[in-house]
Structure formats: C-alpha cells, structure tokens
A and B are shown apart, each in its own frame.
Chain A
C-alpha cells in the first residue's frame, strides 16, 4: 500500500523558516480576546486554541490568561462527522450555549481552516442569532487566507461593519485609534494607552478598541469620532478605508511614536489634523519634554562612560522595525545600521515603507540605514554577514561590531554570535513577561531606554 509519504515532495519554493507571526485565526483571536466584554467563539478543528494559547500568546510576553481567552474559550471543535455533514449545526449549538453560559456583551465567531474548506455557511448561522437580537458577529479568518495581520484587519472590518453603529452623534472630542495588533505587538496594551495619554494632552478622548480601558459602548458610538488615527503604515489601513466608506470618518496614518523625538512629531501631526493650535502643541511638547529629559538625565554619566553611541541591528515588523530604529537613532544617538523588516510584504507595501521611513541618516559613515525585507528568519544572518563581514577584508574595516540586536526571541543566536546585547521587543517575545509595559509617548521612551541600557548590563 502506498501513502502520501511515498509521493515525491514538491520543490520547497515557498518554504519559510522562523516566521514572526501566526495565522489569520491567531491574529483575529488575539484581537477578539482583547475586545472589552467580548466572547470569542472559535469555529475550527481541534488544536487551534491550545496552539494559540501556548505558541502565540506565550510568545506574546506570556499573555496566556484572560477571561474566555486561551484554553477556556468556546469552540466548535469540529470532528470528522462535522467535516462530512457540515459544521453549521455544531456552531449553532456552541453559540447558543456560549450565549447562555458566558458573560459577555458581544459574541464574536471566528472561522478556522476546516469550516472554510468545507464551505460552512457561517453567515447564515450568525444571521439567525443576530435577527433574534443577539449580539453575534463573524469574521472569516481561515489560516490559509493570510497571517496574523490579516486576521487583525478582518476583525477590525467586522467591527466597523457589524458593531459600529451608523449615524452615531458627533463627538468632537473623540478620536479612534488602531493599527496596533494585539499580541502581534507584544506591548500593545501599554502602547495604546501611551497614545491615549498623548491624545488626552491634546484635549481628546481616545477610543482604542482593545485592552483595559476600552469600552464596547464607545466602540459602538465610534462613528461619531472626529478622526481615525492608524498607528501604522500598513496594519489597519484597509480597515480605515472601510470605516471612511461606511461612516464617513477620515483617517491619518502615523508611525508608533516611541520616545520623545517621535512623540513630538506625533503631537505636531495629530495636533494639526485635529486643528489644535500650533502654540498649544508646542506648549505641551515643551512641558512634557522638560519632564522627560529630567528623568533621562539620570543615565547621562553611564551613557558617557559606556560610549553609548553604538551600532545596532534592528529586527521587527513594519511597525516595530522603524519605530525602534527611530528611537535608537534619534533619542539615544545609536546607529541602527541594519533594519530588517520581517513581514511577508508585497512589493507595493515595501515601497510604501521605503518611501515613508527610510530617509534617516543613521548608518556608518553618515550613510542611511540599510533596510532589508527578510520574512525568512533563516536568511537574517546572511544579511548581517553582507553588512558587516563583507568589509572585514578592508584595512580600515569598522572596528566596532554591532553592540545590540533589538529584535525578537528568535534573534538570540544572532546576538550571541555577534557578541552583542540582545533585547526582545518584536514578536515573538518569549523571554519576558509583559503586562502594561509600553514604549509609546515620552514615558514609553523612558521605558525603552531603561530596557536598552539594561540589556547591556544584564550580566552584572
């Protein structure tokens, strides 16, 4: 008898090692689990939930707990019988029980690969409950359709289509904020709240959808917001376009503001978009900056003593790679010589990033940082070799090696090989417990400075 193992393997043209994301369902589940008073209902085969709990959430700063998240969420757990006869009845049953037992104000169905392959009509099941007045919505998140970022975007789109109420009364002091995918951005809670504090300084309330302090009623009324702010060049942009189409609210896209320099830019850009007077914005920047540098001063002598203008390698997704490199260059005066963006991006999206984010002068000899797109973690060391070892034959090759690798837990080996310090900020972060830590804003910058400097002295 032959088996599939006897068949010749197809050429490994699209193989990818050490990806720094999960599948669409994983990204979506992280987002739904972070929505206030929301119960995720997983319509998928067995194994997905536990995989996300340990592999994905565990790599997201050990964030494995939470009400109805992780291993305690309702799921249809599709078996052979549902595959053959359709899983819609099983989903209906699970949904009915979830509504009965789980204490929530929104029930969010997410589909895995199995029901999407067999063509379960999930819309029909969900519509049955929705027509009955039950707060049930659905996002199609089969893993084969895309990765975590796609799943996050699908959840946003479902929220904007099915949860955000049309024609909500205008609230001139309200702005919506997204673009920070929960768990995929390991510091998402702190980052969102850091931005909310900045908006508060400008005189606005932020509806940031996910995490502590987010409010489902506010989400429902978010069509009344004055502006949508997407804290990303890529993630949540399509959803922002949909929001604009459905609810007529405009959006701006701005990078994650890590530290003082980026925060100043953020305040000026957002202030202008929200028509806050330039004078008022400068006043905020002045006051906040003063406070910020008072703290940072504390490390000044250590900085001098360490000769801390160091070369750095920065590895992260489209949000983190540039936000972190900017912080290192502009706030700490490091030289982020190599910036590796680890998303699996189309040429068009790469172009967006290169156009918007690579103008910085921060590499060796006053050159720009080198930006590489490497979705395959196995090829990262080659890029490092190209950047550093290619010059080692020269008589006056750079005497300094990169002093720090700021990336993910997957980059530990690279840092060790270079003899460099290692700080994990980008997913997966499995060597740190992360709760409310965040790097946005002035205070976030202090936290990131603490983390960077601490990584140099971790062995003391």
Chain B
C-alpha cells in the first residue's frame, strides 16, 4: 500500500507573508529530509520565486493553454534544497475566472499522479488571499489537503481574513474537507501582537503553531531571491522556520475551528482597540493591558 502523502494548505490575507512562510517551510522540510512539493495557487504565480533564485516558472495553466495538455516535466521544477515547485497560474487581473483556474490546475496534478510518481512526502498548497469563491476552496475540499494552516499578523484585516477562512473550513468540515491545523502568527514583535493572536486563537478554539518574528534576515534573503533556509541557514530566523517545519511534519490532528460571526468579530476588535488605547495613553502598563 502506498504511503499517505501529507497535503497541507496555507491560507491567509494577501501580503501577509504566506509565500515567504510557505517557501521557508518547504525549504526547511527538505532540509529535514522530506520530499516536498510546493504548489502556488495564485494567478500572480510568484509563490515559489524564492525557491527558484527569484525567477518565475511556467505555470500549469499557461502550459495547458499553449499545448492543450501537459506532462509532469513541463510543470514541475526543482528548487533550492530539492523542493519541487509548481505554479497553478491563472488569468491576467480583471479577466477570466481565477477560481476555475485553480480547479483546473489541481485536477491536472491529480490526473498526472505527480505526488505518487515523485514519491512526495509533503505537499504544500500556497493559496491566494481570501476564499473568495469555490475555486479557492478546492485545496481544502474534496479530500485534497487534510490540514490547513493560516498565516496571520495581529492586524484586524488579516484576522478578518483568517476568520473567513475558518468559516470556509467549518462549511466543508462535515463532508471530508480539510480541518484547521492552526495559526502561524507572522510579524509578531510587539507584546500586544502576540496577545491579540493568542486571544483570537482562544476565541476560535484553535492553536498557534508558531510565532514568527518580523526579521530583516527575511528581507535580505528575499532580495537575493532565496529562502532564509538557503541564504542564512544558521540565523535565528532559520531556526524558527525549522522548528515550525518540524511541528508541521509531525502534526496529525486538525480540528474544526469555531469562527466568530461578523458582529462578534467587530465587538472583539473593538475591545482590543480600547485596550491598546489605554496602553498608549499610559492608563495601564503594557504588561497589565494584555
């Protein structure tokens, strides 16, 4: 019997650091000895850039469009540390249907049986911003990915997107869809940032998998077109990603999250606004405020 391939999906608001986090997790997993594939599910097609020296690779949909059918070697490219890189691709902004594109690309990967043929251990789907339509929910339904991790900062809009995602997961949870592995808290430096995401995790009955601090090492590595694992393997930031990768590799039990209603979310955000204001005005000490 073939081994079970661990398929996980990374979601989160656009610009929050999903691709950076995904690529570093992929690179770290490869370093830990796993055979990894990262599938970028975003029409921008830049998910795997830092695994490929800052370059773009031909996408599944572009190749399919040009040739009518695709073969595995036309769409799978090897990146740093041996990570297999795939970009789903999609239409130019403002035309066509990107959601349908994701569906088509994922279908192609299934049909080509690339995970089995390459003996992949772990597949990471790096999915665009919000779950705006059915197409972007494909990696988390139909039994494709089993675990979802969401990248969020403590910014309200990022948490709003995460909460939306939780609603999507909950919707598909009873029909074999992916469940939530937890939150990857990104750009967490200020004490209150940590407190906010902790509180959000508690409210939605999930967990924080890792706190990833904002670091100039990440910026430096990205400017070189590399992951932190490749550019600064001995840095503290690389250590954070390695620990995160280790946790993800060992992760087994995901759960159905309990998203807040829009009203609850606004009330919750409002209560945090008051707390932050009190800290700023010195009414309470930072450590008491949180």
Contacts and interface: CB of A to CB of B under 8 A. Distances in A.
A7 interface: yes
Contacts of A82: 96
B176 A84 contact: no
B32 interface: no
A81 interface: yes
Nearest to B105: A84
Contact of B96 (A1, A2, A7, A118): A118
16 contacts: A1-B142, A3-B142, A6-B175, A80-B104, A83-B96, A84-B65, A84-B90, A84-B97, A84-B98, A84-B101, A85-B91, A85-B96, A87-B96, A88-B95, A118-B96, A119-B95
Contacts of B100: 80, 83-84, 118
Interface in B100-146: 100-101, 104, 141-143
A84 B175 contact: no
A118 B97 contact: yes
A87 B100 CA distance: 13
A121 B96 contact: no
Given A1-B143, A1-B176, A80-B100, 20 more contacts: A1-B142, A2-B143, A2-B175, A2-B176, A3-B142, A6-B175, A7-B175, A81-B65, A84-B97, A84-B101, A84-B104, A85-B91, A85-B92, A85-B101, A86-B95, A87-B96, A118-B97, A118-B100, A119-B95, A121-B95
B218 interface: no
Interface in A104-144: 117-121
Given A2-B176, A6-B175, A84 B96 contact: yes
Interface of B: 61, 64-65, 90-92, 95-98, 100-101, 104, 141-143, 175-176
Contacts of B98: 84
Contact of A117 (B97, B104, B176): B97
Contact of B61 (A1, A84, A120, A121): A84
Nearest to B66: A81
Nearest to A3: B142
Nearest to A82: B96
Contacts of B176: 1-2
A80 B176 CA distance: 26
A110 B111 CA distance: 35
Contacts of A87: 96
A121 B61 CA distance: 21
B66 to A, nearest CB: 10
Contacts of B141: 2
A3 B176 CA distance: 9
Given A1-B176, A2-B143, A2-B175, A85 B95 contact: yes
Contacts of B91: 84-86
Interface string A361-392: 00000000000000000000000000000000
Interface residues of A, number: 19
A167 B188 CA distance: 68
B212 to A, nearest CB: 33
B170 to A, nearest CB: 15
A86 B175 contact: no
A52 B64 CA distance: 31
Which of A86, A87, A117 is the most central at the interface, judged by chain B CB atoms within 10 Å of its CB?
Answer: A86
Contacts of B175: 2, 6-7
A261 to B, nearest CB: 55
A117 to B, nearest CB: 7
A6 B175 CA distance: 8
A68 B64 CA distance: 32
Contacts of B90: 84-85
A87 B96 CA distance: 7
Given A2-B142, A7-B175, A83 B97 contact: yes
Contacts of A88: 95
Contact of A85 (B65, B142, B143): B65
A440 B65 CA distance: 54
Contacts of A118: 96-97, 100
A298 B7 CA distance: 83
A443 to B, nearest CB: 53
Contacts of B64: 81
Which of B61, B97, B104, B175 is the most central at the interface, judged by chain A CB atoms within 10 Å of its CB?
Answer: B97
Nearest to B107: A80
Which of A2, A88, A117, A120 is the most central at the interface, judged by chain B CB atoms within 10 Å of its CB?
Answer: A2
A408 B101 CA distance: 44
B98 to A, nearest CB: 7
A85 B104 CA distance: 12
Which of B90, B95, B175 is the most central at the interface, judged by chain A CB atoms within 10 Å of its CB?
Answer: B95
B106 to A, nearest CB: 12
B208 to A, nearest CB: 30
Interface in A50-94: 80-88
A80 B68 CA distance: 10
Interface in A205-229: none
B121 to A, nearest CB: 21
A128 to B, nearest CB: 15
A86 B65 CA distance: 12
- 8 smallest CB-CB distances across A and B, nearest first, come from A86-B95, A86-B96, A84-B101, A118-B97, A2-B176, A85-B96, A85-B91, A2-B175
A78 to B, nearest CB: 11
Nearest to A81: B65
A88 to B, nearest CB: 7
A80 B103 CA distance: 10
A89 to B, nearest CB: 9
Nearest to B43: A84
Contacts of B61: 81, 84-85
A45 B222 CA distance: 43
B32 to A, nearest CB: 30
Contacts of B104: 80, 84
Contacts of A80: 100, 104
Contacts of B97: 83-84, 86, 117-119
Nearest to A84: B101
Nearest to A1: B143
Interface string A4-32: 00110000000000000000000000000
B280 to A, nearest CB: 44
Contacts of B143: 1-2
B180 to A, nearest CB: 18
Contacts of B101: 84-85
Nearest to B89: A84
A1 B176 CA distance: 7
Contacts of A7: 175
Which of A1, A80, A85, A87 is the most central at the interface, judged by chain B CB atoms within 10 Å of its CB?
Answer: A85
Contacts of A119: 95, 97
